[in-house]
């Protein structure tokens, strides 16, 4: 087994090379003056996601604005291959894929100074990661912002949200505001202690959606209120007590679903959170494991197929099975899945989008994995 030098691999790759790799993996990149922009395939999979994955030529780093945060090419490949293979891959496997993809020469390293073989090195690394995951406290890194900034924004409940059935009281509780300068709905994100860690803006015009995607961090003054979405669970600061009291947690994709659930079932019964993306990161998984005393984890992700049996249906089933396998070791896992011949949901609907009756039907007929 060859031993690779990470620095040599980086130096061998041009922006054009990385563009080709992202394109090959289904990111559909487009060149910009700073590098390129691609779909957020890092957590959505090939050909999926919004155009919020940025590559910066001056640093050689990528940044996913919806979930993954900043990463290098090796981290990016690891995330993609994890989705494809349904398991975590080693750093070596990521390097090996890149070397073979570009047929790179002269990127080998010398690990003889370590006094161990590459095979032993990888095994020791795996053992070390297992040991550290068992012994270390959960470490989460994000910036804390001054929450007073929200007082500068107006409370203007979006008419479209009201029509969808999201109540004013829920919007007030979760701090939903309106930012007229950017014509966006403001969605504050708080950590489990209640600190403001980021602000997301929801585009209100189709032009903005097509140009920037539905969601982007908000800039107020000279501060961009961004944060790595994968390091937090939206709504957990409000709903942890209910979750632990009832012993169940419902995981949605989007923030709106958490507000929708509260409107339907009341603040005292809200056991929902949102991952703000289709993936459940390892950090989010550990947050549940550490803070939530639950017997059941209920996955309520958006419907990602149009017909039972089509390619997306199969991919969705396999995705949910892989996700459940990560969680089964500390709780039962069930999914809300629109499996009937007469569909209850439309394509891309969250399980709560078609009203209380449909949600309760899906909940009462949830599938345990």
What does the pLDDT look like over 104-123, one tens digit per residue?
A: 888 876 543 333 334 433 44
CATH number of the structural domain 236-368: 3.40.1360.10
What does the pLDDT look like over 179-200, one tens digit per residue?
A: 887 788 999 999 999 999 999 9
Q: Is 86 left (phi over 0), alpha (psi -120 to 50) or beta?
A: left
Q: Is 277 helix (H, G, I), strand (E, B) or coil?
A: coil
Q: What backbone torsions phi and psi does residue 332 show, to the nearest 5 degrees?
A: -70, 150
- Angle between helical axes of 91-102 and 73-85 (0-180°, round to 10): 100
Q: What is the mean pLDDT of residues 50-63?
A: 90
What does the pLDDT look like over 299-334, one tens digit per residue?
A: 999 999 988 888 889 988 988 998 899 899 889 999
Instruction: State the pLDDT at residue 130.
Output: 36
CB-based contact 276:254 (threshold 8 Å): yes
Instruction: State the pLDDT at residue 2.
Output: 61
Cα–Cα distance for residue pair 229/87, rounded to 1 Å: 21
What does the pLDDT look like over 288-301, one tens digit per residue?
A: 999 999 999 999 99
CB-based contact 358:344 (threshold 8 Å): yes
The architecture (CATH level 2) of 147-227 comes to Alpha-Beta Complex (3.90)
Q: Is 186 helix (H, G, I), strand (E, B) or coil?
A: strand
Cα–Cα distance for residue pair 35/55, rounded to 1 Å: 5
Instruction: State the pLDDT at residue 149.
Output: 92
Q: Which CATH class is domain 6-109?
A: alpha beta
pTM for the full model? 0.66
The H or E element spanning position 246 is: helix 236-246
β-strands 184-190, 69-71 pairing: unpaired
How many Å is the Cα radius of gyration of the chain?
22
CB-based contact 51:22 (threshold 8 Å): no
Cα–Cα distance for residue pair 296/244, rounded to 1 Å: 11
Q: What is the mean pLDDT of residues 332-342?
A: 93
Nearest alpha-carbon partner for 198 in 233, 229, 173? 229
Domain extents for the chain? 6-109, 147-227, 236-368
């Amino acid at each position: 087994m060859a031993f690779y030098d990470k620095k040599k691999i980086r130096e061998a790759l041009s922006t054009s090379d990385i563009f080709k790799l992202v394109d090959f993996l289904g990111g559909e990149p487009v060149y910009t003056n700073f590098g390129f922009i691609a779909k957020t395939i890092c957590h959505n999979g090939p050909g999926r996601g919004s155009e919020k994955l940025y590559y910066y030529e001056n640093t050689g780093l990528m940044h996913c604005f919806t979930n993954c945060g900043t990463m290098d090419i090796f981290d990016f490949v690891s995330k993609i291959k994890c989705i494809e293979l349904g398991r975590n891959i080693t750093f070596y496997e990521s390097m090996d894929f890149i070397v073979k993809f570009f047929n790179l020469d002269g990127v080998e390293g010398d690990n003889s100074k370590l006094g161990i073989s590459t095979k032993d090195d990888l095994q020791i690394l795996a053992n070390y990661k297992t040991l550290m995951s068992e012994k270390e406290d959960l470490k989460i890194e994000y910036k804390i912002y001054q929450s007073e900034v929200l007082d500068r924004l107006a409370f203007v409940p979006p008419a479209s949200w009201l029509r969808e059935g999201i109540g004013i009281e829920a919007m007030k509780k979760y701090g939903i505001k309106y930012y007229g300068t950017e014509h966006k709905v403001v969605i504050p994100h708080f950590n489990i202690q209640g600190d403001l860690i980021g602000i997301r803006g929801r585009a209100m015009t189709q032009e903005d959606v097509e140009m920037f995607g539905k969601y982007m961090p908000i800039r107020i003054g000279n501060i961009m209120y961004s944060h790595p979405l994968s390091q937090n669970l939206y709504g957990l600061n409000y709903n942890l007590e209910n979750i632990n009291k009832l012993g169940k947690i419902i995981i949605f994709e989007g923030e709106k679903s958490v507000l929708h659930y509260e409107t339907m079932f009341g603040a005292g019964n809200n056991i929902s959170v949102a991952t703000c993306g289709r993936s459940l990161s390892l950090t989010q998984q550990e947050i549940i494991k550490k803070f939530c005393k639950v017997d059941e984890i209920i996955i309520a992700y958006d419907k990602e197929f149009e017909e039972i049996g089509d390619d997306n249906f199969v991919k969705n089933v396999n995705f949910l099975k892989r996700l459940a396998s990560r969680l089964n070791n500390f709780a039962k896992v069930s999914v809300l899945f629109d499996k009937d011949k007469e569909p209850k949901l439309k394509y891309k609907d969250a399980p709560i989008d078609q009203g209380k009756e449909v949600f309760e039907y899906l909940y009462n007929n949830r599938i345990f994995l």
